[in-house]
Structure 1
Amino acid sequence: MQTVNLPVESTKTEILCSYKNPTKQVQVLRMESTVRGYFERVVFPGEYCLFVGESNADLEVYSSGDPTRIELEKIPCDTLKVEETE
């Protein structure tokens, strides 16, 4: 039997992220992670959401101000990283 070693991508680093819903509409957050699987949350206006993401992943933010249209915004997780303070 032959063993195959696949390279581990060093660009996939787990980070703690934070997102706040700045709108007056309910939003749905989605993200696919290779490490943790699938993430989906409903975020109400003004509400914060903490989650673990990957530095190279995008958070998908779905919102709708009009019942006939859904808007999608993709935000890189590395821009949502929570910074530690002492």
Structure 2
Amino acid sequence: MTVQIDALNALIFMAGCVVAYFVYKHTRRSHSGPVKTGDVGVAIATGLSVILALGFLFGLSQETDAPPTTVQETPSATASPSMHTAS
């Protein structure tokens, strides 16, 4: 099964990953503890917020190849005046 990903959606995802990477590297350099590890939680939250913001800005849409649906006329419950016959 092949999953088609729109190019704009892939770019938005990649931008979020790049921002998360740089935030992780920045928190790794500015960490004051003895172990030089970056803050993974902040990096993930930042990456997700970038994806969310760009998704709202550019619109994450899932285009489908399904044909447009047509609206069918429904029969009315009342009879038309021409159907009444005088007896």
Higher strand content, 1 or 2: 1
Q: Rg larger in 1 or in 2?
A: 2
Both proteins in one fold, TM over 0.5: no
TM-score range, shorter chain: under 0.3
Higher helix content, 1 or 2: 2
Q: TM-score, normalised by structure 1?
A: 0.27
Q: TM-score, normalised by structure 2?
A: 0.26
